[in-house]
């Protein structure tokens, strides 16, 4: 069997590498139109950082895993995956909410143009709105002509891997979801794809559904995960004001087996390329279906996230005597989570932009993020001309945490990298301007320990030590 995949990004690359690893009898070819990206996949320095990925790619590349810009390779696949991005639309109808499907459409057209005969299983791997497969099907069938006898089945097979743990998620998934038409050909196609995963995934973990359930489940799963984070973040605000401790509350909630302990870590807000995009996509879908209450319900998950980011940045500014202009602030972490160099939708962008707006000097340290990415993200978010100019002068990247905190007034933890847990903060404190502040946006550190070193602290979801013995309720 041959598999091809269009899109060599965070999903296409690792997923195809895992299929190649687990299925040595299958030839897997990943196509992308970016020559730069394909060159990187074919080099010693892969275009994305993901623990364990290099080992898998290096083991299979050139044997049964190939990366190419040659589009003619696409038609060779018996199964053709579409793994291109579907970002939130930034223009036109649905701007700010709807998924931009232009890449899905161009891929479908490309497949239709290139495949002239045989039966192909086309798999939506990208996250798409429900019923997107209708559009793909229409495009594919509209190319049928005297010169093409090709036929197609469309499947939905959303990806549930998380960045930073992609390889373990792929090798041991909670489930594999395959949706398809419920007629004979559809069911046969589902089984064809299931037989690929069956090389390493137990059959009881391979869920078969209709197309729409599969498409919707992906959006719903991300919305539910993000909702948990917004829920615990909303509780973190109450904790700070009352003296309850958000980690203790999360533990107490999470031991209820009906709820479970995962995704209850309060933070400066969720980031990443998926949660916000997929919720907005769901909101737009609900609006289109004339379900305004449903749309409003899910939109609050994003609103809460934006509030959490904003209030964290404002807390920093207020705590530092309402003036951060010209002060160096050490930013620990810029990626949207640990173990990835990905900065898309990272809460660090919003927090840094706010501090920059106030004229702060940002000494950024992140073990995996480049200056180029930081600048791109800030330039994308900041529209105000005055603040944009500060990106060139006030944003500095350091190659160590100690370098970043030297001479700084504050440390701000924005990504939960392990090294921030084990750092020697007494050493940092020594070289900082006093009073030295510590703002923990990831609830990583023991507030009392930091205070015993001498830091003025703020940790999300923990009361300030100055909290008086007050009874607020009803005031
Ligand atoms: C997410 C989902 O977890 C995957 O299942 C899904 O496949 C993927 O989106 C996708 O649609 O492609 P990802 O965005 O890579 O994966 O990373 P997560 O581990 O989900 O983290 C998302 C954000 O939430 C991060 O900023 C993380 O720091 C934050 N988070 C996570 C919290 O603030 N608290 C938590 O308890 C968990």
The residue contributing the CA closest to ligand 1 atom 14 is: 272
Q: Do 156 and 248 lie in a common domain? A: no
Cis amide bond preceding 435, omega within 30: yes
Shortest-distance atom of ligand 1 to CA 272? 14
Identify the band that residue 165 occupies on the pLDDT scale cut at 50, 70 and 90.
very high
Q: Do 234 and 198 lie in a common domain? A: no
Q: Give residue 468's pLDDT.
A: 52
Best probe residue, ligand 1, of 53, 263, 275, 348 (max atoms within 8 Å of C-beta): 275
Q: Do 169 and 233 lie in a common domain? A: no
Please identify, among 209, 227, 253, the residue that sits at the C-terminal boundary of a domain.
209
Measured distance CA(89)–CA(99) in Å, rounded: 6
Count of structural domains within the chain: 2
From the list 458, 459, 405, the residue with the least C-alpha distance to 429 is 405
Q: Do 423 and 331 lie in a common domain? A: yes
Look at residue 322 and tell me whether its pLDDT is greater than 60: yes
Q: Do 281 and 301 lie in a common domain? A: yes
Q: For the chain, report the end-to-end CA distance as a whole number of angstroms.
A: 69
- Is residue 274 annotated as part of the catalytic site, yes or no? yes
Tokens found for residue 143: 């190319």
Give the pLDDT confidence of 14-72 residue by residue, as tens digits: 999 999 999 999 999 999 999 999 999 999 999 998 999 999 999 999 999 999 999 99
DSSP per-residue string spanning 57-94: HHHHBTTTEEEE--GGGGGG-SEEEE----PBP-SSTT
**Cβ 267 under 6 angstroms from ligand 1:** yes
121-133 average pLDDT score: 90
Please identify, among 209, 230, 248, the residue that sits at the C-terminal boundary of a domain.
209
185-212 average pLDDT score: 97
Shortest-distance atom of ligand 1 to CA 262? 36
Look at residue 269 and tell me whether its pLDDT is greater than 80: yes
Q: Do 167 and 22 lie in a common domain? A: yes
Q: Give residue 473's pLDDT.
A: 65
Identify the band that residue 134 occupies on the pLDDT scale cut at 50, 70 and 90.
confident
Q: Do 345 and 378 lie in a common domain? A: yes
Q: What is the pTM of this model?
A: 0.94
**Active-site residue (options: 23, 274, 352, 443):** 274
Q: Do 161 and 261 lie in a common domain? A: no
Give the pLDDT confidence of 367-419 residue by residue, as tens digits: 999 999 999 999 999 999 999 999 999 999 999 999 999 999 999 999 999 99
Q: What is the CATH number of the domain that holds 255?
A: 3.40.50.720
According to the 3-state scheme, what is the secondary structure of 156-206? Answer: ECCCCCCCCCHHHHHHCCCCEEEEECCCHHHHHHHHHHHHHHCCCCCHHHE
Q: Do 51 and 194 lie in a common domain? A: yes
Residue 105's Cβ-count burial label (10 Å; 0-12, 13-18, 19+) is middle
Q: Do 226 and 173 lie in a common domain? A: no
**Cβ 81 under 6 angstroms from ligand 1:** no
Q: Give residue 100's pLDDT.
A: 86
Look at residue 221 and tell me whether its pLDDT is greater than 60: yes
- Compute the Cα dihedral for 6, 12, 13, 15 and give only its sign: negative
Q: Do 420 and 460 lie in a common domain? A: yes
Tokens found for residue 332: 């620990």
Output phi, psi for 442, to 5 deg. -130, 10
Q: Do 263 and 351 lie in a common domain? A: yes
Residue with tokens 């696409």: 74
**Cβ 337 under 6 angstroms from ligand 1:** yes
Please identify, among 209, 227, 261, the residue that sits at the C-terminal boundary of a domain.
209
Q: How far, in Å, is the centroid of ligand 1 from the Cα of 165?
A: 10
Measured distance CA(377)–CA(388) in Å, rounded: 11
Look at residue 144 and tell me whether its pLDDT is greater than 90: no
The per-residue pLDDT of the chain, averaged, comes to 95
The residue contributing the CA closest to ligand 1 atom 30 is: 270
Instruction: Provide the domain limits for residue 269.
Output: 210-475
């Amino acid at each position: 069997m041959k598999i091809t995949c269009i899109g060599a990004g965070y999903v296409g690359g690792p997923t195809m590498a895992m299929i190649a690893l687990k299925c040595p009898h299958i030839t897997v070819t990943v196509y992308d139109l970016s020559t730069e990206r394909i060159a990187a996949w074919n080099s010693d320095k892969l275009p994305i950082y993901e623990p364990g990925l290099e080992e898998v790619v290096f083991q299979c590349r050139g044997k049964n895993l190939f990366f190419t810009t040659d589009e003619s390779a696409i038609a060779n696949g018996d199964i053709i995956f579409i793994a291109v991005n579907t970002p939130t639309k930034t223009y036109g109808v649905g701007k700010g909410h709807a998924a931009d499907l232009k890449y899905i459409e161009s891929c479908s057209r490309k497949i239709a143009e290139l495949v002239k005969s045989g039966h192909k299983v086309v798999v939506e791997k990208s996250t798409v709105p429900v019923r997107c497969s209708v559009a793909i099907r229409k495009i594919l069938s509209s190319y049928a002509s005297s010169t093409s006898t090709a036929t197609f089945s469309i499947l939905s097979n959303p990806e549930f891997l998380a960045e930073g743990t992609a390889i373990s998620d792929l090798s041991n998934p909670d489930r594999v979801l395959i949706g398809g038409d419920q007629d004979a050909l559809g069911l046969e196609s589902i089984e064809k794809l299931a037989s690929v995963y069956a090389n390493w995934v137990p059959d009881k973990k391979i869920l078969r559904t209709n197309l729409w359930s599969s498409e919707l489940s992906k959006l719903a799963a991300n919305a539910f995960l993000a909702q948990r984070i917004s829920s615990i973040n909303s509780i973190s605000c109450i904790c700070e004001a009352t003296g309850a401790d958000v980690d203790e509350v999360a533990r107490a909630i999470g031991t209820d087996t009906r709820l479970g302990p995962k995704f209850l870590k309060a933070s400066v807000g969720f980031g990443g390329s998926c949660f916000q995009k997929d919720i907005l996509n769901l909101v737009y879908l609900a609006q289109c279906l004339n379900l305004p209450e449903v749309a409003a319900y899910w939109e609050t998950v994003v609103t809460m996230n934006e509030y959490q980011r904003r209030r964290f940045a404002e807390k920093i500014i207020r705590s530092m005597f309402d003036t951060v202009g010209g002060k160096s602030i050490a930013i620990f972490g810029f990626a949207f989570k640990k173990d990835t160099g990905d900065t898309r939708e990272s809460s660090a962008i919003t927090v840094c932009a706010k501090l920059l707006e106030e004229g702060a000097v940002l000494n950024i340290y992140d073990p995996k993020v480049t200056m180029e990415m930081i600048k791109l993200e800030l330039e994308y978010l900041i529209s105000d001309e005055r603040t944009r100019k500060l990106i060139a002068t006030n944003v500095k990247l350091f190659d160590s945490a100690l370098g970043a905190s030297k001479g700084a007034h504050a440390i701000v933890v924005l990504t939960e990298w392990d090294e921030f847990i084990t750092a020697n903060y007494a050493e940092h404190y020594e070289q900082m301007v006093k009073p030295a502040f510590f703002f923990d946006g990831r609830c990583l550190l023991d507030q009392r320990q930091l205070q015993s070193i001498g830091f003025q602290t703020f940790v999300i979801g923990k009361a300030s030590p100055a909290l008086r013995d007050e009874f607020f309720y009803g005031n």
